[in-house]
Structure formats: structure tokens, C-alpha cells
Chain A
Amino acid sequence: MNAALAIIVLTIVAALLLGLRARHGKDMNLEQWTVGGRGFGTVLVFVLMAGEIYTTFTFLGGSGFAYGHGAPAFYILSYGCLAYVLSYWLLPPIWRYARQHRLIAQPDFFARKYDSPALGVLVAVVGIVALVPYLVLQLKGLGIIVDAAAYGTISPTLAIWIGAVVVTTYVMVSGVHGSAWTAVVKDILILAVVLFLGIYLPIRYYGGYGAMFTAIQAAKPGFLVLPPQGESLTWFDSTVLLTALGFFMWPHTFGSLYTAKEERAFRRNAALLPLYQLILLFVFFVGFAAILKVPGLKGPDIDLSLLRLSIATFDPWFVGVIGAAGVLTALVPGSMILMTSATLLANTIVRTVHPQITDVTVSNLAKGLVPVIALVSVLFTVRGGSTIVALLLMGYAFVTQLFPSLLASLLPRNPVTREGAFAGICVGVATVAATSLAHTGIATLLPGLPGPLRDLNIGIVALALNVLVTGIVSALTYRRTALARHAR
């Protein structure tokens, strides 16, 4: 075993021990396991929220996208800060309502607000469908790291299996407490590694940022601006908008909101977290530095750029440190995602079918489902073929469909009926699913559209259809709902 792999294995063992310790002496009922008993202060909520946001997606996906696509990667830097602006007003009312009704998971919120268990089940299904690509991308990242750190002695497929086993064990051992403590370690490590790489590599290979960007501009003209077609300005704006609106719609992010002790934590974080986005800038610098130094990575292989450049530059022990940071960025969010999907399945779907089921049974069922979901995701990962960013954008297109009915439910008088919400979400999700499965975009579906509109992110088009259908169906059913409400 080389130094790189040894350091990575040690990190994984340490994370597991930390998870075990976090559980020590705590009574793990379903509420403890999933929302940490709602006792986390500003710092832990900050870390947990940041922990989910800074995942393998940013580390490998962000650098890979900058390497392979150039300026379109800047969307990753842009949407977060808009989402935090929204969070100032969006999150406190969600948190208050969840606390008041002792909600465990995201679908409970919709089911309660719209007084419709069926809507809760639909939201759970949408959540799980969106989480699978998200989990797949974490496993893919783990696989890439273990594979690269082993310098080719472990096959990528075996590496993915190892990653899945680690994440599964980790979740079953520790629940949300493990995530929070490992997230603290992970954030410090990733911050140090990314800052170092993002400053050192451009200076070592080019002498500075200005020189690096001038060299890229000379070698690949147009690479550092958004192109006139494809990932164009229309694509940028629609993608930024889609991902900013969908940011807090992820079931695991929504669920982690419930862990907060007080609502002011969210408002304070709205001012702090945008600055945290700047780490991404240094991730991009690594991707850009790799363009002229490790050229030739194509398709899904662009996600390898950070590690390839690191291997070409550093001794194995330091590649191990970088890999360890990468493993943690996959492990923490991966565990949150796995736990959330299992809870969604057990608590929402099974409980709706069998309402008399006890909390203990739900809790055990959720833990039992963890390896099953991990297995399904491994099978998807091994089949592979998409880049990390493509996977995440697909997930975003799904979860953002929940935004219109969530926003409406926070209004003093909700204009949307449960039928409207149900129909809108179905239409939005079906639009995304149909285009993702057929691998088409707007350009192929509606070739007559004027140029710029063809590059719209499909998720935004689905969202527009969603809002339209929600509006029409709500208008048709509003009177009846209002009468029923009045009668009660």
C-alpha cells in the first residue's frame, strides 16, 4: 500500500470512530437520528449546511467543469449567493412551522400544509428521484479518489464499491450527529487543501493568475467567456435561477433546517455563507491550471483533472492528504443523502400505507433501507457516463419543481390547492424525466424557437409549465377547497 492510500484509509477509519463517539451516550430515536433533537446552534447548523453544499460536486465536479467547459462553470459560483439572499426570508417560517408540528422530514411539511398525505408521498418520491443522481455523484467522486490514490492498483468499480460500503457503515453507525462532527473536520481540511492548491498551482506553473488566464485565453480563445451558443448567457441565467430556487428544496437540506435551535441562525448565515462561496474560486483555479498541464481529458474524465494535476505535481503522501479531504467531502453529504432517502421511504411512504406503524419500527426500517439504497446507487454509478455536474443539474431540475407550492404555502392565504400543487409537481417532474431519459433539450423539442431561447435550462421550462398547471388547476378547485375549509 502506498503512502497516499494509507492516509486515505486512516481518514476513513478516523471518520468512523468520530461517528461512533458522536453517538455515544445519546438515545437514538428517529428524531435524534435524523434531526439531532433540534438542538444545534448557529455554528453547527452553519457547518452542516455548508457541509452539504461543499461536496464532491464542488471539489472534483467544480474543478472538472472549469477544466472541460471554462466560463460556464462560473454558474456554480453565482447561484449560492442568490439562494442565501432568499434563505433570509424563506427558512425561518419553514423552521417555525416544522418545530411547531414536530416534523421529521420534508414531505411532512407539504402533507401538513396542504392537509394531504398523498402530496407528502409525491414529495417523497420526487425527493428520492432527485437524491439518487446526487448520491451517485458522491460515490463516483469516492471512486475517482480511491482509484487515483491507489495509482491504478484498485479498479474504479472496486473503488466505488469500497466507497459505498464506507458511507453505508458510517450512516448506520452515527446518523446526523456523526455528520455534524465529521463536517467540522472536513470543512477545515477542505478549506486548507483548496486554498493551498488554488494559490500554489497557478503560481508554480504560470507565475500568477493574470499570466495563467492570459495563457488560456491565447491557447483557447473564447473559453473564458460564456459562448454564443450551447452553454450561453440564456443557459447561464436560467441555470443560476433554477439552482438558486432549488437550493433549499433538497430533502436533506430541508431536513437539516429542522436541526436548528433558533431561527436567527438562518438569518445570520445568510450574511456569512456567501463569503464561504469564495472557496469555489480556488477550486476553479485548480481546474484552469490543469487545462494546459494535463490536457486531453474528455467527457466524464474531466472530473479527474484535479487529481491528475496533483499526482503530476506532488509526492504520494500529499496526494493522500488531498484524497483524504476529497473522501470527507463525499462521505459527509453522502451520509446525509443516504439517511434522508431512507427516512423518506420509511417515514413517509410506508407510514402513509400503514398508519398504525410504531416509531421504533419506522426507525429500524429506515436503517434497514440504507444499504438497499446504497446498492441501487452503486448500480447506477457503475453504469456511469455522465459528468458530476450533469448529474447534479438533473437532480436540481427535479427538486426545484417543489418550489412553487412551497412558496405558496408560506403565504398568509395560500392560493394553491392540494390538487393544484399535485398536478403542477407532476407536470414539472414528468417534463424533466421525459427530456432526461430521451437525452434531448429544448432545441430538439422545439426547433422553431428563436436562437437564445433554445439554450434555456430544461428545468426552468419545466418550472414554467409547473406554475402554469398549478395556477389553472388551483383556480378550478379553489372554490371547492375554500367551501370545505369553511365547513370545517
Chain B
Amino acid sequence: MGLIKYLAALPFIGILVGVPLLNRVEPLVLGLPLVLAWIVLWIILTAVIMAIIYFADPANRDAPESRP
């Protein structure tokens, strides 16, 4: 899967670097304080990123249920 696996570093940057930079209430996003909305965004992005990695990873391709 080559370079795709490095996408997994993004959630760490998004949370550990992003939260200190966006530690603010205003503006509210969908009614949430900005810092909370930012964390929620990264939870969704993490799921998306891990799904991309899952489908790109050849280890997940064949049907493992039928493997001995």
C-alpha cells in the first residue's frame, strides 16, 4: 500500500497539534465550541483514513474466513 499508510500520522497531528492551535470557543460550529467541533471532525476523518488504509492493504483482500 506504499505511501497510503503514512496517512495514519494525520490523526495524531490533527489532535495533538491541532487542539492546542484551535483552543477556542468562538465561532461555534454546528452549535459546538470550535475546539470540540475540531475533535469531532478528526474522529470522522480517522474513520475515513482507516477505511482507505483497510481497502488499500493487500492483506485484507482475499477471503480470510475460508483460509485454514
Binding site for B on A (CB under 8 A): 71, 74, 77-78, 81-82, 84-85, 88, 208-214, 217, 224-226, 233, 236-237, 240-241, 262-264, 267-268, 270-272, 274-275, 277-278, 281, 284
By size class, the interface of chain B is 35 or more
Main secondary structure of the interface of B (DSSP, over half): helix
| CB neighbors of A among B18-49 (8 A) | 19-20, 23-25, 28, 30-33, 35-36, 39-40, 42-44, 46-47, 49
CA separation between A241 and B43, bound complex, in Å? 15
Q: Is the CB of B57 within 8 A of A267?
A: yes
A144 to B18, CA, bound (A): 36
Quote the shortest CB–CB distance from A457 to chain B (angstroms).
Answer: 13
7 additional contacts (CB under 8 A) given A263-B64, A274-B44, A274-B46: A77-B40, A78-B39, A224-B33, A226-B19, A262-B65, A270-B54, A274-B47
Contacts of B49 in A (CB 8 A): 85
Residue numbers in A under 8 Å from B33 (CB-CB): 71, 213, 217, 224-225
CB distance from B1 to the nearest CB of A (A): 11
The CA of A209 and the CA of B36, in the complex, are separated in Å by 12
Classify the interface of chain A: helix, strand, loop or mixed.
helix
* Known contacts A236-B19, A275-B43; is-contact A213 B28 (Cβ 8 Å): yes
Known A-B contacts A210-B28, A225-B33; the reply to A82 vs B51 at CB < 8 A is no
Residues of chain A lying within 8 A (CB to CB) of residue B36? 71, 74, 77, 224, 281, 284
* Nearest A-chain residue to B33, judged by Cβ: A224
**3 residue pairs, one from A and one from B, having the closest CB atoms:** A209-B31, A210-B31, A271-B50
Q: Give every chain B residue within 8 A of A71 (Cβ-Cβ).
A: 23, 33, 35-36
- Report which of B25, B39, B44, B64 forms a contact with A275, defined as CB distance below 8 A: B44
Rounded to whole angstroms, the CA-CA distance of A236 and B15 in the bound complex is 10
Query: Known: A88-B53, A237-B20. Contact between A213 and B31, CB under 8 A?
Result: yes
Residue of B nearest to A226 (CB): B23
Chain A nearest CB from B44 CB (Å) reads 7
Cα A237 to Cα B11 with chains together (Å): 13
Contact yes or no, B23 A233, CB < 8 A:
yes
Q: Is the CB of B43 within 8 A of A274?
A: yes
Query: A74-B35, A209-B32, A226-B23 in contact; A84/B46 too (CB < 8 A)?
Result: yes
